Amino acid sequence: MDYLVVHSGDANGPESLHAALPMRAGELLVRRTLIERGLLLMSSRSLIQQLPADDGFNYVAGDAAAPFLASLTSIYSQRLKERAQWVVERFTGMTTSEIRQITHRLFDS
């Protein structure tokens, strides 16, 4: 999902926030560790809650999320929020497997 937020144009969404570099598929390997660390940090600050799910975990906004998000006012942050909302609207209701199929097709092309 993180990849789809910053490279939304790859999935026929709004213009991507990050450049369409030829080897951007490699970002998935690099970003995974960063995302895991970020989830731990956000959880420790009550920004998110981790909930068990049939296919792993789901994450929901924690008590401190709204004030934190409101404090992000840069143009990049605003565009990031818009892309995140697009991803939620576009991929809600899809299974993890269906989303993986979409991302794999993006990388195959």
In this structure, which amino acid lies at residue 39? L
CA neighbor of 80 nearest in space, from 11, 10, 15: 15
pLDDT tier at 109, thresholds 50, 70, 90: low
Residue linked to tokens 């975990």: 57
> What domain range is 84 assigned to?
2-108
pLDDT tier at 27, thresholds 50, 70, 90: confident
Give the per-residue pLDDT at 44. Answer: 96
* pLDDT tens column, 81-93: 999 999 999 999 9
CA neighbor of 31 nearest in space, from 43, 15, 18: 18
* pLDDT tens column, 68-84: 999 999 999 999 999 99
Whether 62 shows a pLDDT value over 90: the answer reads yes
Average pLDDT of the chain is: 90
Say if residue 3 is exposed, middle or buried (CB neighbours under 10 Å; 0-12, 13-18, 19+). buried
Q: How many domains are contained in the chain?
A: 1
**Reported pTM:** 0.80
